[in-house]
Chains A and B, each alone.
Chain A
């Protein structure tokens, strides 16, 4: 892969840049242009399908579609025969330095909830096919999350809106950009005279300086208008809390690598939805490598298992509402010892909460306090963003008192309005709308009609607005009520800019012209203000000051960041914090049905629902329940027993008279009486994946927003649970069925051998424990070794101490290797295709379990059982020690899978890629737009047809594409030059791939570590993957 970073020059952009929707939609043109190249056809016509010539604008989609269907059904390995003549359609003018059939990388950035994440997008012949992190970006450090990995599929989503539409009674008419521009101009002409009376703009949270400037110009032009921002997952606790503690809202930044003791109060600070989550994960796990330095110790108090909790050395499950009392208690404890300065105020009075007097909790908190005090300046206390202001105030107070401020915890000033609640703002706006005081409304992105809390009633109020414009990627719930819907441009389609959490500015660079001619918010507003609607020019102008000349601008675009644009770090003065008020519930211990707490969390897959139509993310197994294609209410084992419910029971959750139906998930490790419920499901106008009412695609999951309220948008008390329906078969990828006692005993017996671990102290005493845990008999081979492994010898090391189970690697693998999506029914049958899976095991007492993750790619055994049983030699051993899988030789006996001890092989029971040209063998769609999905395929990897086995190849295409140029240049491949897709995206650097024959390579040295061990090595498969045993660092006082 060509790692060289390029800047999109105006030239290479212009041929496809089209703002006006001509009679012929841009989409066909760009698709046509792109898929003419032989490489692209390679991608789509793999195996037997006919090449997908992009539909020329004049040709009817149907005929072409039928041809393709016919060809893909037609059997026979006669792909080589001259059935059809392939065409080669070269560019008429090939831009400088463009080599057809090679990839190049461009820096860009993706914004989520007002925070930018720097990315590298891989472009293949002008179309983005893969996303990775930008190593230069402070929040990424080269890592990317599932959201980013999945986002590239969103570009080619055939369900994206492809035309302007206008409301007409109940229905909607397709319209044109011209018509909209005309209507909008007239509307604004009126408004200019009234100075923007009754004009409102509702936008997503954005950190874009260009948009901010645009906003100012807009408000200047319409002084009476208002600009509201709303984000369903917006939190203001931290800003309000820091304002309480420091007098001003602040952002908080951490250096986990420096910390020795870390306390998380209901904070999943390694999650991609947490500010700088991926960077935090890198720092946290960096401090947990026992081989060369002391390990840090992580305490987590949380309401349900999170990646952070899974990594913890000590974990305490408490309801989110109980955290406030815990914070007060700790402040009381620590202030007493840390002796705060007078102006810092006295500590909190010890709350006399029932649950705090519980021996276990008491012991835990005292140990924590002691440990924190023993590590002045080397600790970190973090609070969950959903926690109220008081908790954040107390937490930052603790950080200051413990001397962490400026050492491990850093502060930057936040916007003055950061402390205000988005929900209040939206409520106010909606009331105005309902009262008819809003006659013009622009909704830029977001989807309030779906994700506003139930008590807001945005959709209804929207009907009352005379002239409403919705700019959106999809014609979704909100667009339904808007008088105008305007297609938006994807972030990979438009110029823009955005700031990282620490303020570093990134330029958002487009990889492809808007496929559906969509517009970015910038371009839309510029047009309405009568400015030049060129994203590039707007961004360039905005940063003239920072980077004067074009050269520096191009460098910024190339690097993906503007150096030195981060906010200045400050060391705020801690002021005294008044005693926090604790309600009855917050002090109480156990709660019962009707009084349960519900916690609304961002979905680790589809976030707030914006990715609901992303098949990769929908099918991704959730980290803890391993549930795909659904959401559920997570209950602790005890609570589930008390309610007499189990996995799959359909429940009705009632809160404040509102209800939602979701299946039950028994999630060990949840706090009793606390229910975790993911947002983003139950979309009614998402599309063919996420659900669309009026079609046979029913909404996926239950919509948690239905029981959300403006007062308590993040966690709320007083939930009643009732069983409403018969048990439902969940599409889990692990523990697909309720496990019987024999199964549980079996797991308990073998788990210590599979996931080997020891406390740090024991590890230091006996470093080889992992190797000697299982007796390795003298190895004898039935066959002589086929190869001697001169030259390269590829291997992998996976550090179980670092894996946080975020599953970014799984999606990265899916994107890199064209892994098909099989759909809910097939997952429920146990036919998911993911090459890399992350196994999840619970340990110990189900009421306070520990949780272990184990990523499991193909182990590339040297003595591979799969190879010996294939009757046709479709899986053979390469001279570099890979188990080559040859799809075009495979006849699908599936014997290899039976004989694979790791069961990492996947089989195409149907032609799961048929959806490129039709949904499934049963319900082929004749919609030619489905072909758009073919554009995301990686042409370097064969797209599998039905009836063949497949599995992880160690990204052999990346190996080949690094080896060949190296050989051509007569140079050796250096370590780290080849990264597997999973390794590249891993936030914690848990996966390392390389050449075992290169003694200096990282992987060779990791496999030499004492704690490295082979999974099921005693069976003499000689796996090439080795795991690094997990080392915990428990506090002796809590042992």
Chain B
């Protein structure tokens, strides 16, 4: 036949095409929004460290305070990774022959650093300041989650811009008395973090800025 008209089955393709055209954009947007967000790309990142250092053991079981090693956290932007010397304070006496600790001993002897892998790694144009948060009573656990239960540290929170903004716009649920920042198990005494946070916010004059220059310079 010379006159080409659509066969009957072609009618079905109409709906299919319609369906595709309407869903495709939504899918793409979803992909950009969620698929490419740190929630997906970064959360759960758990590199193999040169030394199988266990926060679960040191911070959890033995209950060493975070600030014993990360001692600049209240003074500086960076919660410095401790120098090898700090490890050796104890490990010159205990586990002095453990093969797992060999890299630490070597570093101490050679003066060359232990090459830790960075887990919580913000983009370099984002300027995060630990002291500004810790001294206002934002707990370690808020961003790093239950480090004291991690045998090897992994990233638990997205650390994305939107995630930061959530708290900067509504900090109450994440506030605690500055004395409790390193306490991994702290709960709001009245059981209502919202109300308690509001109280703390008023007491400590906490109004987190959301200006661009707060984090970007």
Give A contacts to B, CB under 8 Å.
15, 36, 38-39, 41-42, 45-47, 78-82, 85-94, 99-102, 876, 878-880, 882, 884-889, 940-942, 953, 956-957, 959-960, 964-965, 967-968
**Quick one: given A80-B38, A960-B127, are A87 and B83 in contact (CB under 8 Å)?**
no
- Other A-B contacts than A88-B81, A92-B83, A93-B85, 19 sampled, CB-CB below 8 A, are A46-B125, A78-B36, A79-B125, A80-B38, A82-B42, A85-B117, A86-B117, A92-B107, A100-B80, A101-B78, A879-B211, A882-B211, A884-B211, A886-B216, A888-B216, A942-B125, A942-B217, A967-B132, A968-B132
Tell whether, in the assembled complex, residue A92 and residue B113 are in contact, meaning their CB atoms are under 8 Å apart: yes
Give the shortest distance, in Å, between B50 (CB) and chain A (any CB).
Answer: 10
Tell whether, in the assembled complex, residue A886 and residue B113 are in contact, meaning their CB atoms are under 8 Å apart: no
**Which B residues from 97 to 132 make CB contacts under 8 A with A?**
107-108, 110-118, 121-125, 127, 129, 131-132
Tell whether, in the assembled complex, residue B131 and residue A964 are in contact, meaning their CB atoms are under 8 Å apart: yes
Which of B8-16, B69-77, B189-197 lies on the face that meets chain A? Answer: B69-77
Q: Which of A87, A953, A964 contacts B118 (CB 8 A)?
A: A87
Tell whether, in the assembled complex, residue A942 and residue B216 are in contact, meaning their CB atoms are under 8 Å apart: yes
**What sequence of 0s and 1s flags, for each residue 51-84 of chain B, a beta carbon within 8 Å of any chain A beta carbon?**
0000000000000000000001011111011111
Distance A101 CA – B108 CA, assembled complex (angstroms) = 22
Q: Which of B41, B81, B136, B217 contacts A960 (CB 8 A)?
A: B217
- Listed by A's residue number, 13 A-B pairs whose Cβ atoms lie within 8 Å are A78-B36, A85-B47, A92-B83, A92-B110, A92-B111, A92-B112, A94-B85, A99-B76, A101-B72, A942-B216, A953-B217, A960-B214, A968-B131
Q: Which of A46, A87, A964 contacts B115 (CB 8 A)?
A: A87
**Which B residues from 129 to 145 make CB contacts under 8 A with A?**
129, 131-132, 135-136
Tell whether, in the assembled complex, residue B125 and residue A86 are in contact, meaning their CB atoms are under 8 Å apart: no
Q: Which of B38, B112, B116 contacts A88 (CB 8 A)?
A: B116
Closest 3 CB pairs of A and B: A884-B212, A878-B211, A89-B113
Q: Which of A81, A92, A878, A965 contacts B212 (CB 8 A)?
A: A878
Tell whether, in the assembled complex, residue B213 and residue A91 are in contact, meaning their CB atoms are under 8 Å apart: no
Q: Is B30 an interface residue (CB 8 A)?
A: no
Distance A565 CA – B116 CA, assembled complex (angstroms) = 51
Please give, as numbers and ranges, the residues of chain B lying within 8 Å of A86 by CB-CB distance: 117-118, 121
Tell whether, in the assembled complex, residue A79 and residue B76 are in contact, meaning their CB atoms are under 8 Å apart: no
Please give, as numbers and ranges, the residues of chain A lying within 8 Å of B209 by CB-CB distance: 878-879
Please give, as numbers and ranges, the residues of chain B lying within 8 Å of A81 by CB-CB distance: 41
**Quick one: given A79-B124, A99-B76, are A90 and B83 in contact (CB under 8 Å)?**
yes
Please give, as numbers and ranges, the residues of chain A lying within 8 Å of B123 by CB-CB distance: 79-80, 888
Distance A443 CA – B78 CA, assembled complex (angstroms) = 47
Q: Which of A82, A100, A876, A878 contacts B76 (CB 8 A)?
A: A100
Distance A912 CA – B12 CA, assembled complex (angstroms) = 57
Q: Is B186 an interface residue (CB 8 A)?
A: no
Distance A90 CA – B51 CA, assembled complex (angstroms) = 14
Please give, as numbers and ranges, the residues of chain A lying within 8 Å of B124 by CB-CB distance: 41-42, 45-47, 79, 942
Give B contacts to A, CB under 8 Å.
36, 38, 41-42, 45, 47, 72, 74-78, 80-85, 107-108, 110-118, 121-125, 127, 129, 131-132, 135-136, 160, 209, 211-214, 216-217
Tell whether, in the assembled complex, residue A953 and residue B213 are in contact, meaning their CB atoms are under 8 Å apart: yes
Give the shortest distance, in Å, between A305 (CB) and chain B (any CB).
Answer: 38
**Quick one: given A876-B211, A878-B211, are A940 and B76 in contact (CB under 8 Å)?**
no
Please give, as numbers and ranges, the residues of chain B lying within 8 Å of A94 by CB-CB distance: 80, 83, 85
Give the shortest distance, in Å, between A939 (CB) and chain B (any CB).
Answer: 9
Tell whether, in the assembled complex, residue B78 and residue A38 are in contact, meaning their CB atoms are under 8 Å apart: yes
Tell whether, in the assembled complex, residue A91 and residue B78 are in contact, meaning their CB atoms are under 8 Å apart: no
Give the shortest distance, in Å, between A859 (CB) and chain B (any CB).
Answer: 17
Give the shortest distance, in Å, between B86 (CB) and chain A (any CB).
Answer: 8
Q: Which of B110, B132, B216 contacts A887 (CB 8 A)?
A: B216
Please give, as numbers and ranges, the residues of chain A lying within 8 Å of B74 by CB-CB distance: 968
Distance A988 CA – B118 CA, assembled complex (angstroms) = 46
Please give, as numbers and ranges, the residues of chain B lying within 8 Å of A876 by CB-CB distance: 211-212
Give the shortest distance, in Å, between B107 (CB) and chain A (any CB).
Answer: 5
Distance A81 CA – B41 CA, assembled complex (angstroms) = 6
Distance A87 CA – B117 CA, assembled complex (angstroms) = 5
Q: Which of A15, A46, A47, A89 contacts B116 (CB 8 A)?
A: A89
Give the shortest distance, in Å, between B55 (CB) and chain A (any CB).
Answer: 15
Please give, as numbers and ranges, the residues of chain B lying within 8 Å of A88 by CB-CB distance: 81, 115-118
Give the shortest distance, in Å, between A236 (CB) and chain B (any CB).
Answer: 50
Tell whether, in the assembled complex, residue B216 and residue A968 are in contact, meaning their CB atoms are under 8 Å apart: no
Q: Which of A36, A39, A956 contacts B78 (CB 8 A)?
A: A39
Distance A953 CA – B213 CA, assembled complex (angstroms) = 9
B111 nearest CB neighbor, chain A only: A92
Tell whether, in the assembled complex, residue A968 and residue B85 are in contact, meaning their CB atoms are under 8 Å apart: no
Tell whether, in the assembled complex, residue B217 and residue A957 are in contact, meaning their CB atoms are under 8 Å apart: yes
Please give, as numbers and ranges, the residues of chain A lying within 8 Å of B214 by CB-CB distance: 960
Give the shortest distance, in Å, between B144 (CB) and chain A (any CB).
Answer: 15
**Quick one: given A88-B116, A876-B211, are A93 and B84 in contact (CB under 8 Å)?**
yes
Q: Which of B81, B84, B125, B211 contacts A888 (CB 8 A)?
A: B125
Please give, as numbers and ranges, the residues of chain A lying within 8 Å of B129 by CB-CB distance: 960, 964
Distance A47 CA – B36 CA, assembled complex (angstroms) = 17
Tell whether, in the assembled complex, residue B41 and residue A80 are in contact, meaning their CB atoms are under 8 Å apart: yes
Please give, as numbers and ranges, the residues of chain A lying within 8 Å of B82 by CB-CB distance: 90
Please give, as numbers and ranges, the residues of chain B lying within 8 Å of A957 by CB-CB distance: 127, 217
Distance A102 CA – B74 CA, assembled complex (angstroms) = 13
Please give, as numbers and ranges, the residues of chain A lying within 8 Å of B211 by CB-CB distance: 876, 878-880, 882, 884
Distance A82 CA – B44 CA, assembled complex (angstroms) = 12
Tell whether, in the assembled complex, residue B213 and residue A882 are in contact, meaning their CB atoms are under 8 Å apart: yes
Please give, as numbers and ranges, the residues of chain B lying within 8 Å of A85 by CB-CB distance: 47, 117-118
Tell whether, in the assembled complex, residue A92 and residue B76 are in contact, meaning their CB atoms are under 8 Å apart: no
Please give, as numbers and ranges, the residues of chain A lying within 8 Å of B131 by CB-CB distance: 964-965, 968
Give the shortest distance, in Å, between A1023 (CB) and chain B (any CB).
Answer: 18
B38 nearest CB neighbor, chain A only: A80
Please give, as numbers and ranges, the residues of chain B lying within 8 Å of A879 by CB-CB distance: 209, 211
Please give, as numbers and ranges, the residues of chain A lying within 8 Å of B132 by CB-CB distance: 964, 967-968
B85 nearest CB neighbor, chain A only: A93
Give the shortest distance, in Å, between A791 (CB) and chain B (any CB).
Answer: 9
Please give, as numbers and ranges, the residues of chain B lying within 8 Å of A965 by CB-CB distance: 131
Distance A941 CA – B84 CA, assembled complex (angstroms) = 29
Please give, as numbers and ranges, the residues of chain A lying within 8 Å of B112 by CB-CB distance: 92
A817 nearest CB neighbor, chain B only: B217
Please give, as numbers and ranges, the residues of chain B lying within 8 Å of A887 by CB-CB distance: 125, 216
Please give, as numbers and ranges, the residues of chain A lying within 8 Å of B41 by CB-CB distance: 80-82
Please give, as numbers and ranges, the residues of chain A lying within 8 Å of B135 by CB-CB distance: 967-968
Tell whether, in the assembled complex, residue A884 and residue B213 are in contact, meaning their CB atoms are under 8 Å apart: yes
Please give, as numbers and ranges, the residues of chain A lying within 8 Å of B108 by CB-CB distance: 92
Q: Which of A81, A92, A93 has the most CB of B within 10 A?
A: A92
Please give, as numbers and ranges, the residues of chain B lying within 8 Å of A888 by CB-CB distance: 123, 125, 216
